Amino acid sequence: MDRRRFLLIPLAGVLIAPLDVEGQQPGTLPRVGVLTLSVAASMPSFQAFLQGLRDQGYVEGRNIALEFRFADGKPERLRDMANELVRLKVDLIVTESVLAAREARNATGTIPIVTAVHGDPVGAGLAESLTRPGFNVTGLSLLAPELSGKRLQLLKEVQPKATRIAIVWNVTNVAAPRYLAETRSAARTLGLDIQSVEVRTPADLNPAFEAIVAGRPSAWMTLPDGMLLAHAPRIVEFAARARIPAVFPDHEFATAGGLMTYGPSLATNFRQAATYVVKILKGANPADLPIEQPTKFDLVINLKTAKALGLTIPPSLLARADQVIE
């Protein structure tokens, strides 16, 4: 079992600042488990979560204890990690993917669970509705299927002569069919053919890469998914090697070297997840806390990658970008 803790050095200067909240004794600290499919070093969003706690007066080791469990992109590890957090009798569990939330819910029906990142908690059976979850799961959803169509439009702006787009999606993700349907609809409007490339586990990624190359698409994209996000560096490396333009849903892909990303801010979600944690620790019932949906979406363009691919990004597109990586 990997029990590595998340490296907190980037926030060390912040964490030693004075608190307005009186610290509890170590034996009485509320304990929060964080269960993630991702690799710790590739998830700066966790710093946003820690800062969100700090903003409300909670600092690890002073008035809150955190138990991080990182599955390093290996879904099969999540179940044991979820069960371990339950055995530790944590007061609350924070998750960052559909798979992590599902395993946490399977492990406990009583410990509150806050999803910082989830595609469709209602469709997954984790909540009765967004307005009143009804069970022990609440938090934030990234469900915005209409964004898949907008990502296709971005690819079309970069590759005006594109005729065929490969779509990589995880068939085990309950939200994926909705994303795929929206993508197909947008593709018809744009006059694009779709090459559907299905994956289920990390072992399917190399065959998926081979299928993309064999299909000779003009460009390609991934649908939102925690497993794919956990393997962002590997996916971006393939994109560079294959020299096929791609757009991704999460900012982390762009910082890893991906051409473009468009989607909700994961850092914003994690920061907001901290407010759910505090509310629940103060007595709120997760069954009564509405699940929030994204309202802000960021376009990130990596000009260094565009240059490597021999692409010229239209000035109109650059002007709309929230961040340009050079």
What would the pLDDT profile of 59-80 be if each residue is shown by its tens digit?
A: 988 999 999 999 988 889 999 9
Domain extents in the chain? 9-142+265-288, 146-264+297-325
The 31-36 sheet, strands edge to edge = 65-70, 31-36, 92-95, 113-115, 137-139
The pLDDT score that the predictor gives to residue 309 is 94
Q: Which residues pair with 193 in a beta bridge?
A: 164
Span 123-128, average pLDDT: 88
149-181 pLDDT, tens digit each:
899 999 999 999 999 999 999 999 888 898 899
Please report the sign of the dihedral spanned by the C-alpha atoms of residue 199, residue 205, residue 206, residue 211: positive
The pLDDT score that the predictor gives to residue 275 is 96
| H or E element at residue 26 | none
Paired tokens of 190: 């744009």
Span 276-304, average pLDDT: 93
**Could you tell me which residue, 301 or 3, shows the higher pLDDT?**
301
The answer to whether 63 touches 57, Cβ cutoff 8 Å, is yes
Q: What is the mean pLDDT of the chain?
A: 87
**Selection from 179, 85, 265 nearest residue 95 by Cα:** 85
Phi, psi of 262 (to 5 degrees): -145, 120
The pLDDT score that the predictor gives to residue 242 is 95
Say yes or no to pLDDT of 19 above 50.
no
Longest C-alpha distance within the chain, in Å?
64
Q: At what angle do helices 45-55 and 266-281 cross, to 10 degrees?
A: 40
Judge if 9-142+265-288 and 146-264+297-325 fold alike in CATH terms.
Answer: yes
User: Hey, what CATH topology would domain 9-142+265-288 get?
Assistant: Rossmann fold (3.40.50)
Binned at pLDDT 50, 70 and 90, residue 43 comes out as low
Tell me the whole-structure pTM to 2 decimals.
0.76
Span 83-101, average pLDDT: 94
Say yes or no to pLDDT of 27 above 90.
no
The pLDDT score that the predictor gives to residue 144 is 75
Say yes or no to pLDDT of 39 above 90.
no
Q: What's the CATH number for 146-264+297-325?
A: 3.40.50.2300
Of the ranges 45-54, 106-115, 207-216, which one carries the lowest mean pLDDT score?
A: 45-54
Q: Give the whole-number percent of the chain exceeding pLDDT 90.
A: 67
Say yes or no to pLDDT of 306 above 90.
yes
